[in-house]
Amino acid sequence: MKLKFNGFLVLLLALLTQVAFAQERVVSGNVSDNSGMPLPGVSVLVKGTKTGSQTDFDGKFSIKATSSQILIFSYIGMKSQEIMANSTNLNVSLKDESVELEGVVVTALGIKKDEKKLGYAVSKVSGDEITKSGEQNLIQALAGKAAGVQIVGSGGTPGASSKIIIRGLNTITGSTDPLIVVDGIPIDNSTDQTSAGDNPFNANLSGINNSNRALDINPNDIESVTILKGPAAAALYGARAGNGVVIYTTKKGRAQRGLGIDFSTSLAIDKVSQLPARQSKYVQGTSATATAIAPSTPQSWGPTAAALGIPVYDNVGNFFQEGITHNNNIAFYGGNEKATFRTSYGNLSQTGMVPETGLKRNTIRLVGDLNLSDSWKAGASMQYTRTTNTLVQNGSNVSGVMLSLLRSVPNYDLRDYIDEEGNNKNYFSSYDNPYFTVNENPATSDVNRVLGNIYLTYKHAQWLALTAKGGIDAYSDARKQIFAVSANNAGGIGEVSFNSINNKEFYGDLLATGLIPLKTEWLQINYTAGLNLRSSQYLSLYSRGRDLAVRGLYNLSNATELYASNYEANTISRAVFAQVEFDIKDQIFLAGTVRKEWSSTYGTNVNSAIFPSGTAAWIASNTFDLNNYVKLSYGYGEVGIAPRAYATISTYSQPFMTDGFTDGLSFPYDGINGMTVSGTLGNQNLKPERVLGHDLGLSTKFIDNRLSADISLYHKTSKDLLINVPLPQSSGFGTDYRNAAELVNKGIEVELGYDIFQKSNPFQWNINLNWAKNENKVIDISGGLTEVSVESAFASIGYYAVKGQPLGSFYGTKWARDDNGQKIIGSNGLAVIADETGNLGNSAPNWTGGFRNTFAYKGITLSAFIDVRRGGAVYNGTLARLHNFGISEQSADRERTYIIEGVKADGSPNDIAISAKDYFRKYLGDGGGAAEEAVTDVNWVRLRDVTLSYDFNVKRFPAINNAQIAFTGRNLFLDTNYKGVDPETSLTGAGSRINGLDYFNNPGSKSFIMSLKVGF
């Protein structure tokens, strides 16, 4: 009986096996990567069995499986994918492990989070958008690409600095720069201006426009950018995050078969984008009836060139040249499950539109990650950059290129710039000829920089992982400025100066993270706790030699008069912090953070500061099982801006006296030195400025996630702002640096995205739009003050914080007006200037917007980005001076009289005619007119960038993974009401708190770029 039963089982088993094999059939198809390229050697396995296969050279596979079985596709360096074998023909696309999961962003401390769980707004910019912009400055590359983020350039010269302002200005006298973080380690992005210790003026108004140090990062090494805009997002960074945080994540290696190689090369041609229009009809002089040139004046109110029978020259057109940029990059990457690496080299060589200017940057970067075991992981990166720059004199400066060039008279050919002895020749002896400046007065910068970080992670269990990481950012900047004999900036006696800047920053974190084990599925609790230590060491040494004995020998030993000064600042801070996150049923996400920070810049009576935050996000679509995605979020946080170093004590300095025009008198004087307690009283009650912010957001996705919308409302209050409050001179001090002001920023941001067609459509059209509006107001200034100078500007116009007004308002002379707002005209026919100065406008735009369209079809991609700005005052001091000197195009209409619109003292309409010379000099110009006349509320629409690219089909070339050729135009179109250089400009650069100041600024550029990328 038992034998019969066993025989029956064997027969039944054989029958079932036969039925199973009868259901098997051949499943075939293709496997490709995320770019559509075929993947050879992909493992194809029937789940739960040992049946497997591999793709061939063309990415094709074939395997036997039943319709109910699952196929597992896996490949080194790719994310594995499981697909039901319910079809006999499958097309599979695998994604790189290095590609961030959709919706994952890098947040504070380098922690990656699912964006849907965040209770605050962030903006993301891809590395591809950075490189496509063609900008070599990482900050300038963000222009227009994120709502609420304003970028202010300082001219189109190589290495010119760029400033970033996130959601308005948060401080009056502190730095407005956000914190820049690369791979979790904060780096220095300062813009240092070389200034002698005996210079009593604001060095930002003249001299060299130096680079911001983010320039040392190669854009081709960037994978993605995350912008933490509000205090709730940035609270874990404490007193360094008062202006927001910009997080750059660099490219890393990935596990794959063999060695990967990426190579790219590009050629860019830069041209001047926009300049003030000039007249060339009337020549040098002060009288239209003169019979000869008057070389003793820089003005062009003389007779016509035709009347004197002399030629005219296009000095501006002759001076500028096409700038050429060569950019070459190569990267090697690879690895396996145990270790990955990436090493890259970038070489940038740029010649400027201004002759003899240029930039060279060489960058080497090494990145590696190592899985030591299942519990231990380590990694490190190192970057070395050498950046050399030849810069140009700028702004309010008799050696300034644009000052002499734009004022140049049409009858003088500037190319005749030097005499037989090598002395400066020009149409006006008090100005340096721009050709003399670029050839004989060079300014150079040589930066060597090392960035490095290392980490070690131990994962004990799901509830505990420990990470120790540290980083260093060290650079030296060797600067040299020459003023040749006969250069006006040095009084004609010749000068050489050196400025050596050394900066070191050390950063370290110890983190504990984990998921708290709970006996429930509806709640998850994650925590992060840690310690932070940061140290900064800064030293600037300045030396100068004047009155050179031997022409052309630029060495301090060749100087008769020697001077030296230095500045150093050493600071240290330490902090403890913690974060707890609650995930409730994948619907409600709550998080809270706190950071307690101690800093050497705080007063001893304060000692420490606490920065908390709390956020909440609710995915309503998960709660109500909606087809579309809907999330509401709210966040509150506090961040800060630390006091400047050594402000807690009263320091000594060399006193000086000046008349506002000359350098005045200072010690040492007549061989005798003198020191005195500086005019600012030390304050042991100093604490960090605090920015308290509320953030309310709505995020939605519709039409199968093809339509997305993110709307953010925010309100920030900046308290305890540090300002200089006047003290009675009888106290022995002039000012008290204290926490004494308050301001508010509030605004709205909108980001929209729409994929017009489904992903399966061969033709793709994607639209992205961002729009932002910010309102700013100074709420309170204590100490009995109603206004504070933000930074010294010109005598005719200042940049102020005024109680009840937006921060950064221009204040200067205004026209006197009657009750109806009509200008009052005096008996001489000229408008009357009011007795008191007034608000002339604010430099912040009323709103900004960006609009990108991207079209793609069979390897061809066309992308165009339009950048829009509405409002924001710019002081066009350049045009005011050109009017005054009779150089402006408008001033050529001078053979008639003018009547200024307004009313006379008796209220009747003005009918008093004045000469064209008085009209342009004393009304439109700065030869007696009000500063109000030179302030323009600026609007623009610009084609920020447009790129046409083609991805080649490289299937026939087994050694090549991908190849792309692209043509890019930057700033090709600009429609603006501004009559000057490109209004995206700043005389004082990124190291200044002043925005919107144009006084013979260097021009912006438009660029034509051709690039080629190949991957092996």
Report whether pLDDT(613) > 60. Answer: yes
Spatial separation of the C-alpha atoms in residues 713 and 634, rounded to whole Å: 10
pLDDT confidence of 812, banded at 50, 70, 90? very high
d(CA 235, CA 241): 7
Report whether pLDDT(149) > 80.
yes
Q: Are 869 and 845 a contacting pair, CB within 8 Å? A: yes
DSSP 766-787: EEEEEEEEEEEEEEEE-TT-SE
How many Å apart are CA 912 and CA 828, to the nearest integer?
Answer: 7
Mean per-residue pLDDT, 1003-1009: 95
pLDDT digits (tens, 9 = 90+) for 678-695: 888 999 999 999 999 999
pLDDT band at 98, cuts 50/70/90? very low
- Reduced to 3 states, what is the DSSP secondary structure of residue 232? helix
Return the closest-CA partner of residue 647 out of 576, 575, 725, 539. Answer: 725
| pTM metric for this prediction | 0.89
Segment among 30-34, 422-426, 488-492, 739-743 with least mean pLDDT: 30-34
Residue 645 three-state SS: coil
CA dist list (Å): 926 to 444, 811, 901, 914: 33, 15, 19, 17
Identify the residue whose tokens are 């406008």. 841
| C-alpha dist (Å) from residue 860 to 62, 133, 765, 857, 964 | 32, 18, 12, 5, 10
482 strand-pairing partners: 496
Please state whether beta strands 179-182 and 245-250 pair in parallel, antiparallel, or not at all (unpaired): parallel
> Is the pLDDT reported for residue 502 higher than 60?
yes
Any bridge partners for residue 362, and if so which?
A: 347, 386
With b for 16 or more beta-carbon neighbours within 10 A and e for fewer, the 703-718 pattern comes to eeeebbebbbebbbbb
Of the candidates 1004, 947, 970, the one whose C-alpha atom is nearest the C-alpha of residue 268 is 970
Of 96-105, 414-423, 595-604, the poorest mean pLDDT is in 96-105
DSSP string, 27-74: EEEEEE-TTS-B-TT-EEEETTSS-EEE--TTSEEEEEE-TT-EEEEE
Q: Is the peptide bond before 231 cis (omega within 30 degrees of 0)?
A: no
Closest C-alpha to 739, from 171, 196, 72: 171
Q: Which helix (H) or strand (E) holds 344?
A: strand 339-351
101 pLDDT band, cuts 50/70/90, is: very low
Q: Where are the alpha helices (DSSP H) in 285-397?
A: 305-308, 315-319
Q: What is the pLDDT of residue 316?
A: 97
- Token look-up 């953030």 returns 695
Whole-Å CA distances, 72 to 533, 644, 766: 46, 59, 32
Interval 367-392: pLDDT, tens: 999 999 989 999 999 999 999 999 98
pLDDT score of 140: 94
Nearest-angstrom CA–CA distance, 1000 and 985 = 11
CA pair distance 321, 350, nearest whole angstrom: 13
Task: Report H helices in 277-367.
Answer: 305-308, 315-319
Are 166 and 979 in contact, with CB atoms under 8 Å apart? no
3-state helix, strand, coil in the chain (%, to 5): 10, 50, 40
Q: Yes or no: say if 79 and 95 are a contact pair by the CB < 8 Å rule.
A: yes
The DSSP element (H or E) to which 6 belongs, if any, is helix 2-23
Instruction: Tally helices (H) and strands (E) across the chain.
Output: 10, 54
Average pLDDT over every residue of 639-664: 81
The full DSSP string for 461-507 is ETTEEEEEEEEEEEEEEEEEEEE-TT-GGGTTS-EEEEEEEEEEEEE
Any idea what DSSP says for residue 78?
Answer: B
Give the pLDDT confidence score for residue 40 in this predicted structure. 74
Asked if the model's pLDDT at residue 631 lies above 90, the reply is yes
pLDDT at 76: 62
What pLDDT is recorded for position 321?
96
Indicate the pLDDT class of residue 559, thresholds 50, 70 and 90: very high
State the amino acid at position 287 in one-letter form.
S
Q: How far apart are CA 438 and CA 456, in angstroms?
A: 50
- The pLDDT tens digits for 562-584 are 999 999 999 999 999 999 999 99
Confidence of residue 444 (pLDDT cuts 50, 70, 90): very high
What's the pLDDT tens digit per position in 815-859?
A: 999 999 999 999 999 999 999 999 999 999 999 999 999 999 999
- Residue 456 Cα distances to 107, 111, 465, 577, angstroms: 19, 15, 10, 19
Residue 102 has what pLDDT? 53
Task: Give the pLDDT score at 2.
Answer: 40
* CB-based contacts of 553, cutoff 8 Å, min separation 6: none
**Residue 254 DSSP symbol:** -
Give the pLDDT band (50/70/90) at residue 664: low
- Structure confidence at residue 105 (pLDDT): 86
Phi–psi pair at 216, nearest 5 degrees:
-80, -5
Q: Which residues pair with 842 in a beta bridge?
A: 809
- Residue 491: which region, alpha, beta or left (left: phi > 0; alpha: psi -120 to 50)? left
Q: What is the mean pLDDT of residues 507-526?
A: 92
User: In which residue are the tokens 């100093």 written?
Assistant: 686
Distances (CA, A) of 227 to 17, 104, 123, 247, 698: 59, 13, 5, 6, 18
Q: Is the pLDDT of residue 14 over 90?
A: no
* 809-812/656-657 β-pairing: unpaired
**Cβ proximity of 628 and 125 under 8 Å:** no
Taking the alpha carbons of 881, 886, 890, 896 in that order, is the dihedral positive or negative? positive
Highest mean pLDDT among 49-58, 204-213, 689-698: 689-698
